[in-house]
């Protein structure tokens, strides 16, 4: 394997107003190497890759490609130099088809200079086949699930024949099968001499895929570690600047480092009370079928007060669809079966009805489904609970400010002020804002869809402790996640979905990832059938 310096970044520094985002960062990218970039949200990772990909052009320091100094004037210039980026927040046009997105800006032309659609579809199929993505290139991207859109984004970047490929949380919305497929693709890129910059908060991925790791903390390089020297305890300590045990609740401090990193405390049940959510044979038949969706098709499950129940399943199993149905956000259609909330029939027609009934929801795509990035943090927090800060239809500013201050402190949201735009916060703090909004409404049942997607390990630990605290206070929680260690570590039970049906109900005690995958893929699993 060729080991040649492709990109050198030296002394990189960047300020945003009075905030020093990067302070003298050096990074070297070599051909055929997967270079992982780690750090908590706000450590400077996004700023660094935005400089390398030409998004940020005003910075101090030097960038060289093949030993020649460069100063990209924009993303197009970086792409022309062979640098492609898959951003955490996907850069796709929802109204266009998969094929149109894959060739956007590089459309094949006929002799008459019109778009050659046959060639476009043929090229798209080749790119998708190369990745092993079973997608119809004619489908609108907006009709795809987040994980499927992520596969399209990856195929789009690979189509550029990049020499440097930056992957920012590429597996955040992918199930385990798709993650393994991505790793196979990365191995192929490594063999072709492509330098891969891999950004992820999942330590188990870094151990599998990375040749070298650079850890950023507070805008500086905290350490560089080669793959043969990877030690999870050391890496996490470099990221957060404190011992690993302090990330978790005291009862987890005695656990092993590996368990502490991936099996946060609180998986012991025993606090569950009376049934809060009872679902029997729930089936949804939408008026208009939506490609790629798996609506509930005979779901049976129960969530008790004080219990955290996980939802597992491969992509397309129906996890998101079930949560949306329970929140009144699913498509219109005929619904059979029964749902009871605290012993009473529950069938919300829209989210407002769910909120009034005491049901909160944190969706998987916070930027598209939960936040208006230009809105201030304070307004974003009170958005779903205006009734708590109004009298006779008028917002009581003092009451609003008090409620916002309380939630910012309670969830340790890092923000310059309540007036700062929520889009200026790191991903982990944006997620905390969404939690704060839902908790301000005082739910008794909390629905969570990939609640730690794109969140660093420190913020993950805070969210895990928050969930256990809420459950200990009597709240019921239904949590969908594609991270099996998260489900096993956080939840009291795990319900596995396949094709819109609940196919297994597994206690987390003694449960393994293999048990969950076996149930999700149709094989035998421990525990009882659902």
* Model pLDDT, residue 386: 63
* Model pLDDT, residue 253: 32
- The CATH code that applies to domain 5-82+162-242 is 3.40.50.300
CA–CA dist 57, 20 (Å, integer): 16
C-alpha count within 13 angstroms, C-beta hemisphere, residue 417: 3
CA–CA dist 23, 142 (Å, integer): 39
The distance of Cα 117 from the centroid of its chain, to the nearest Å, equals 33
CA–CA dist 186, 192 (Å, integer): 10
Instruction: Quickly count: other Cβ atoms within 10 Å of residue 199's Cβ.
Output: 23
The distance of Cα 321 from the centroid of its chain, to the nearest Å, equals 17
Place of tokens 């895990």: 464
Name the nearest CA neighbour of 70 among 48, 52, 55: 52
CA–CA dist 35, 428 (Å, integer): 23
- For 373-392, b where at least 16 C-beta lie within 10 A, e where not — what string? eeebbbbbbbbbbeeebeee
* Model pLDDT, residue 448: 94
* Model pLDDT, residue 391: 64
What SS3 state is found at 514? helix
CATH top-level class of 275-358+443-520: alpha beta
CA–CA dist 412, 431 (Å, integer): 12
Where do the structural domains in the chain lie, given as residue ranges?
Answer: 5-82+162-242, 90-145, 275-358+443-520
Triad 353, 357, 363: Cα angle to 5°: 70
* Model pLDDT, residue 390: 62
Q: What is the DSSP string of 402-437?
A: HHHHHHHHHTT---S-TTSBGGGS-HHHHHHHHHHH
* Model pLDDT, residue 221: 95
CA–CA dist 375, 377 (Å, integer): 7
Kindly state the DSSP code that residue 529 receives in the 8-state scheme: -
The distance of Cα 366 from the centroid of its chain, to the nearest Å, equals 9
**Tokens coding 449:** 């869809």
* Model pLDDT, residue 269: 46
Q: Which residues contact 402 (CB under 8 A, 6 or more apart)?
A: none
* Model pLDDT, residue 212: 94
- CB–CB of 225/215 below 8 Å? yes
Taken in order 214, 218, 220, 223, is the CA torsion positive or negative? negative
Per-10-residue mean pLDDT of the chain, 530 residues long, equals: 83 86 95 90 85 95 95 92 82 92 89 91 88 87 83 81 86 73 84 90 83 92 86 75 47 36 41 87 85 84 96 85 93 91 93 92 76 79 68 68 83 84 81 86 92 79 90 95 86 92 91 81 53
Place of tokens 């706000």: 42
């Amino acid at each position: 394997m060729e080991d040649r310096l492709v990109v050198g970044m030296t002394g990189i520094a960047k300020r945003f107003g009075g905030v020093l985002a990067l302070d003298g960062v050096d990074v070297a990218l070599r051909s055929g190497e997967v270079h992982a970039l780690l750090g908590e949200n706000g450590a400077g990772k996004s700023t660094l890759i935005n400089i390398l990909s030409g998004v940020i052009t005003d910075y101090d320091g030097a960038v060289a490609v093949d030993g020649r100094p460069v100063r990209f004037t924009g993303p197009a210039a970086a792409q022309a130099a062979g640098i492609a980026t898959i951003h955490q927040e996907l850069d796709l046009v929802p109204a266009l088809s998969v094929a149109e997105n894959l060739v956007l800006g590089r459309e094949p032309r006929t002799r008459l200079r019109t778009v050659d659609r046959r060639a476009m579809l043929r090229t798209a199929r080749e790119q998708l086949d190369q990745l092993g993505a079973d997608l119809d290139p004619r489908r609108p991207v907006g009709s795809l699930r987040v994980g499927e859109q992520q596969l399209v984004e990856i195929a789009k970047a690979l189509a550029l024949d990049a020499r440097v490929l930056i992957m920012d949380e590429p597996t955040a919305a992918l199930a385990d099968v798709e993650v393994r497929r991505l790793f196979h693709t990365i191995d192929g890129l490594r063999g072709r001499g492509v330098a891969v910059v891999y950004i992820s908060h999942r330590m188990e991925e870094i151990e599998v895929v990375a040749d070298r790791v650079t850890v950023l903390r507070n805008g500086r390089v905290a350490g560089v570690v080669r793959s043969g020297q990877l030690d999870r305890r050391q890496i996490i300590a470099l990221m957060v600047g404190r011992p690993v045990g302090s990330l978790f609740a005291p009862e987890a401090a005695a656990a092993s480092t590996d368990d502490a990193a991936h099996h946060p405390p609180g998986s012991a049940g025993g606090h569950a009370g009376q049934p809060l959510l009872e679902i029997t044979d729930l089936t949804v038949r939408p008026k208009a079928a939506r490609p790629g969706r798996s609506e509930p098709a005979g779901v049976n499950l129960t969530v008790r007060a004080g219990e955290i129940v996980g939802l597992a399943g491969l992509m397309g199993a129906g996890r998101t669809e079930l949560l949306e149905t329970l929140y009144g956000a699913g498509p219109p259609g005929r619904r059979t079966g029964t749902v009871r909330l605290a012993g009473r029939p529950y069938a919300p027609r829209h989210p407002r009805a769910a909120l009034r009934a005491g049901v909160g929801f944190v969706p998987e795509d916070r930027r598209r489904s939960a936040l208006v990035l230009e809105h201030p943090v304070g307004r974003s927090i009170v958005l779903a609970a205006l009734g708590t800060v109004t009298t006779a239809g008028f917002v009581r500013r003092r009451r609003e400010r008090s409620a916002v201050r309380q939630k910012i402190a309670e969830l340790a949201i890092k923000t310059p002020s309540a007036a700062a735009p929520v889009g200026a916060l790191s991903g982990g703090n944006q997620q905390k804002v969404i939690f704060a909004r839902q908790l301000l409404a005082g739910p008794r049942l909390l629905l969570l869809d990939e609640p730690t997607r794109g969140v660093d390990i420190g913020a993950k630990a805070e969210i895990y402790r928050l969930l256990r605290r809420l459950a200990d206070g009597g709240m019921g929680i239904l949590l969908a996640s594609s991270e099996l260690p998260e489900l096993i570590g956080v939840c009291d039970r795990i319900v596995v979905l396949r094709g819109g049906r609940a196919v297994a109900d597994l206690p987390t005690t003694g449960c393994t990832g293999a048990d969950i995958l076996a149930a999700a893929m149709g094989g035998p699993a421990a525990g009882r059938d659902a």
